[in-house]
Amino acid sequence: MEIAVISGKGGTGKSSISAAFATLNGRKVIADCDVDAANLYLLFNPTHEEEIIYIAGHKAHVNYELCTPCGICANYCRFDAISFNGARVTISEISCDGCFLCSRICPENAIRMLQNDKSRMYSGSFRNGKMVYGRLAPGEENSGKLVNMVREKAKQVAGENNLEIIILDGPPGIGCPVISTITGADKAVIVTEPTISGLHDLQRTIEIVRKFDIKAFVIINKCDLNSAMSDQIETWCSNTGIKVIGQLPFDTGVVEAMVQGKSIIEYDINSDVSRMIIEIWNKIINTN
């Protein structure tokens, strides 16, 4: 069973909650799908049993020995990546989308497409099971594909090790990597916080989740920072037919745990937050 933990925005405590779930009783697979800012490996220090290179698209490069320079390519590029000053064409690595068009139309065959090969996927073990995570190199796109790779690997590892539960720590936002994280997952846990932006982002996230046939639960984290807003979110959710399965109070213990490289469960299993997380987890697992 794949359980995706997501949030409309970053900083809601999503990863801390994923980490808590991952360290509860019973070995699990944890897959860090937040490939743009992978963090869980910092807490779990997994072994690297496998390292796989991920090709995140291509970038165009000019071979100036062959370039005449006619400047034709600059007229074709739709991403404003090629500039031509009459004497030299320059391709901006930042803007190039890697579409290959310039390399195809260049009459001198002077443009080569080079692979972006700095991104990685790792698979290994952590103290409560198996861990798979991806790290997208800065500036690279297509993180959705890397997320798919991470999930595939996580499923394979789960199968090989007879582990039933896979926790997907998702990326923030509502873009392509989020969609890749929840497509086909069994359950989605949406972590939000009681701020105005928290509510807005939650609404957008639920809009996405609804496009997929996936059972969704909401956790309001740091609920006591604004209990009126927490209640407002709870009401909005129940009117929309989405279940709020828990409100967690703000607890500096969560940060202290992180500083020590632990989840809140490992740091203080008897804390209020830990007890509530256990309750929440049981609800997630036992709701069909």
Partner 1 sequence: MIKIAVASGKGGTGKTLVATNIFYTLLRNKADALLIDCDAEAPNAVAFFNVSQGNETEVTRMVPVIDTNKCTFCGKCHDYCNYKAIFIIPPFKIIRVFEELCHGCGACSVACMDDAITEKPVSQGRVTSFNIDERQAIIESRINVGVMSPVPVIQAAIKLANQNHDIIILDSPPGTSCPFIQTVSTADYVILVTEPTPFGLSDLKQSVDTLKSIKKPYGVIINRAGLGNDSVQNYLKDNDIELLLEIPFSREIAEFYSTGGIVSEKIPALGDRLFQMITKIISLNGNSSN
Interface region with ligand SF4, contact rule CB under 6 A, candidates 93-101, 139-147, 168-176, 241-249: 93-101
Binding of partner 1 by 8 (CB under 8 A): yes
Structure tokens that stand for 27 in this block? 């070995």
Angle at 191 (CA atoms; ends 272, 165), nearest 5 degrees: 85
User: CB under 6 A: which stretch of 92-100, 138-146, 236-244, 252-260 binds ligand SF4?
Assistant: 92-100
Among the listed residues 3, 5, 6, 82, the single contact to ligand SF4 using CB under 6 A: 82
Name the segment binding ligand SF4 (CB under 6 A); options: 99-107, 180-188, 197-205, 248-256.
Answer: 99-107
- Please identify, among the stretches 23-31, 95-103, 158-166, 267-275, the one whose residues bind partner 1 according to the rule CB under 8 A: 95-103
* Residue 97 lies near ligand SF4 (rule: CB under 6 A): yes
235: number of Cβ within 10 Å = 11
Does residue 64 touch ligand SF4 according to CB under 6 A? no
The two tokens of residue 56 are 């995140």
- Which residues are CB-neighbours of 174 under 8 A, at least 6 positions away? 8, 204, 205, 207, 208
Amino acid sitting at position 23: T
Nearer to ligand SF4, 43 or 60 (CB): 60
69: preceding bond cis by omega (within 30 degrees): yes
The alpha carbon dihedral of 18, 19, 21, 22 has a sign of: positive
- In angstroms, the CA 288 to CA 168 distance is 18
CA-closest candidate to residue 161, choices 134, 133, 185, 125: 125
Least distance in angstroms from the C-beta of 287 to partner 1: 25
Q: Where are the strands (E) in 196-274, listed by range?
A: 215-220, 243-247
- CA 120 to chain CA centroid, Å, is 14
Instruction: Rank residues 106 and 165 by Cβ distance to ligand SF4 and give the closer one.
Output: 106
Neighbours of 241 (CB within 10 A): 9
Candidate ranges 17-25, 94-102, 150-158, 259-267; the one touching ligand SF4 (CB under 6 A): 94-102
Q: Of the candidates 128, 183, 141, 163, which has an alpha carbon nearest to the alpha carbon of residue 4? A: 183
- H or E segment to which residue 171 belongs: strand 166-172
Q: Kindly tell me which residue out of 26, 159, 184, 261 binds partner 1, with binding defined by CB under 8 A.
A: 261
Asked if residues 183 and 213 have their Cβ atoms less than 8 Å apart, the reply is: no
Name the minimum Å distance from CB 36 to ligand SF4.
21
> Which listed residue (19, 102, 168, 242) binds ligand SF4 by CB under 6 A?
102
Contact track, partner 1, 222-241, x by CB under 8 A: x--xx--x------------
46 binds partner 1 (CB under 8 A): no
Interface residues with ligand SF4 (CB under 6 A)?
60, 76-77, 79, 81-82, 91, 96-102
Interface residues with partner 1 (CB under 8 A)?
8-12, 15, 36-37, 39, 42-43, 58, 76, 78-79, 94-95, 97-101, 104-105, 136, 138-141, 143-144, 172-176, 179, 193-198, 200-201, 204, 207-208, 211, 222, 225-226, 229, 250, 252, 255, 258-259, 261
